[in-house]
Structure 1
Amino acid sequence: MTPAELKEYWLEKWKSIVSVALLTIVSLLATYHGTTYFSVFEFNHASVNSSAEANNILGMLRSQWHATNQNLSDSVRFGRLRDNVTKTNRTFYQAKGSFAAHINFTVNALKTLNFSTGNKYQLPGIESMDKHTDPSLMINATSAEVISQKRDYRLIVSDNNTCDSLNNPHGFNSFNFKNDVFLLMGIKSTCNHRFRRDAIRETWGNESRTYHTTGVRVKLVFLLGDCVTNEDTDKLWDELTTHADILQWDFMDSFHNLSLKHCLLWQWYATHCMDVPFLIQGDDDMLMNMRNILEFLMSLPVEREQDLWTGSTLMGQPPVRVNTSRYYVSRRLYPDKLYPPYVSGGGFLISGSLVVRLWIATFWKYMLPVDDAFVGTLAKAVGVKPINGRKSFASWGLKDPTPYCLSTIKTYHKALPFELITLWEEMNEYYESINANYTAEHTLS
Structure 2
Amino acid sequence: MEKQGGNGCKRQVVVESPVRPLRSLVRPCFIFLLFLSTVIVIILLGFPDRFSQTDWWKNLSLYTYYHRWTNPDRHRGPSPTTIPPTTVPAPPSATIRPLPTNHYHFGYPRNYHFIVDEPDKCNTQTPFLVLIVPVAPGNLAARDAIRRTWGNETLVQGKKVQTLFMLGLPGGLGAQELQEKVNQESRVHHDLLQSNFKDTYHNLTIKTMVILEWLVSRCPEASYAMKIDSDVFLNVQNLVSMLVNPDTPKQNYMTGLVWWHSPVLRNPNNKFFLPYEVMAESEYPPYPLGFGYIMSMDLPKKIMGVTPQIKPIYIEDAYLGMCLKRLGISPTNPPRKSLFDVNPIYSYGRCKLSTVVAVTTTKVSQLLRYWQDYTRPGPPC
Give the TM-score, by structure 2 length: 0.69
- Give the 3 Å change call, closer, same or farther, for CA 306–127 of structure 1 in structure 2: closer
Could you say which residue in structure 2 is the equivalent of 1:220?
163
Could you say which residue in structure 2 is the equivalent of 1:54?
none
Could you say which residue in structure 1 is the equivalent of 2:55?
none
Asked if 1:153 corresponds to 2:96, the answer is no
| Partner secondary structure for residue 348 of structure 1 | strand
| Partner secondary structure for residue 344 of structure 1 | strand
Whether the aligned pair in 1 keeps the contact of 2:104 and 2:314 (CA below 8 Å) is no
Whether the aligned pair in 2 keeps the contact of 1:288 and 1:411 (CA below 8 Å) is yes
Could you say which residue in structure 2 is the equivalent of 1:14?
none
| Partner secondary structure for residue 308 of structure 2 | coil
Residue number among 241, 250, 263 corresponding to 2:209 in the alignment: 263
Residue number among 391, 397, 400 corresponding to 2:338 in the alignment: 391
| Partner secondary structure for residue 288 of structure 2 | strand
1:41-440 residue pairs with structure 2 within 5 A?
A: 125=83, 145-149=103-107, 151-164=110-123, 166=124, 179-206=125-152, 209-211=153-155, 214-228=157-171, 229-301=175-247, 304-389=249-334, 390-397=337-344, 399-429=346-376, 432-434=377-379
Distance 1:367 1:287 in 2: 29
The alpha-carbon deviation at position 144 of structure 1 amounts to 8.2
1:179-202 CA distances to partner (integer Å, 9 max, x unpaired)?
A: 431000011101111100100011
Code of the residue aligned with 1:266 in structure 2: it is L
Code of the residue aligned with 1:216 in structure 2: it is K
Distance 2:266 2:246 in 1: 39
Whether the aligned pair in 2 keeps the contact of 1:145 and 1:333 (CA below 8 Å) is no
Distance 1:306 1:364 in 2: 22
Code of the residue aligned with 1:223 in structure 2: it is M
Whether the aligned pair in 2 keeps the contact of 1:210 and 1:290 (CA below 8 Å) is no
Could you say which residue in structure 2 is the equivalent of 1:61?
none
Distance 1:398 1:155 in 2: 39
Whether the aligned pair in 1 keeps the contact of 2:105 and 2:311 (CA below 8 Å) is no
Larger % of helix: which?
1
Code of the residue aligned with 1:393 in structure 2: it is F
Q: Which runs of 5+ in 2 are unaligned?
A: 1-81, 87-100
Distance 1:372 1:246 in 2: 23
Distance 2:277 2:268 in 1: 13
Q: Percent identity?
A: 25
The alpha-carbon deviation at position 323 of structure 1 amounts to 3.0
| Partner secondary structure for residue 419 of structure 1 | helix
- Give the 3 Å change call, closer, same or farther, for CA 251–180 of structure 1 in structure 2: closer
The alpha-carbon deviation at position 354 of structure 1 amounts to 1.8
Distance 2:291 2:107 in 1: 23
| Partner secondary structure for residue 275 of structure 1 | coil
- Give the 3 Å change call, closer, same or farther, for CA 388–427 of structure 1 in structure 2: same
Whether the aligned pair in 2 keeps the contact of 1:288 and 1:410 (CA below 8 Å) is yes
Distance 1:416 1:162 in 2: 29
Distance 1:268 1:357 in 2: 14
1:266-313 CA distances to partner (integer Å, 9 max, x unpaired)?
A: 1121111010010011211111000000111111336x2212211111
1:182-233 CA distances to partner (integer Å, 9 max, x unpaired)?
A: 0000111011111001000110001xx441x632211111111111122321
Whether the aligned pair in 2 keeps the contact of 1:256 and 1:370 (CA below 8 Å) is no
The alpha-carbon deviation at position 414 of structure 1 amounts to 2.9
| Partner secondary structure for residue 391 of structure 1 | helix
Structure 1 stretches (4+) deviating beyond 4 angstroms? none
1:113-157 CA distances to partner (integer Å, 9 max, x unpaired)?
A: xxxxxxxxxxx84679xxxxxxxxxxxxxx985333454312111
Code of the residue aligned with 2:104 in structure 1: it is V
Whether the aligned pair in 1 keeps the contact of 2:258 and 2:287 (CA below 8 Å) is yes
- Give the 3 Å change call, closer, same or farther, for CA 287–127 of structure 1 in structure 2: closer
The alpha-carbon deviation at position 320 of structure 1 amounts to 2.5
Larger mean CA deviation between 235-244 and 272-281 belongs to 235-244
- Give the 3 Å change call, closer, same or farther, for CA 310–424 of structure 1 in structure 2: same
Code of the residue aligned with 1:306 in structure 2: it is Q
Structure of greater Rg? 2
1:57-94 CA distances to partner (integer Å, 9 max, x unpaired)?
A: xxxxxxxxxxxxxxxxxxxxxxxxxxxxxxxxxxxxxx
Distance 1:342 1:245 in 2: 28
Distance 1:149 1:254 in 2: 19
The alpha-carbon deviation at position 395 of structure 1 amounts to 2.4
| Partner secondary structure for residue 241 of structure 1 | helix
Give the TM-score, by structure 1 length: 0.59
Q: Which runs of 5+ in 1 are unaligned?
A: 1-123, 129-142, 167-178, 438-445
Code of the residue aligned with 2:192 in structure 1: it is I
Distance 2:348 2:277 in 1: 42
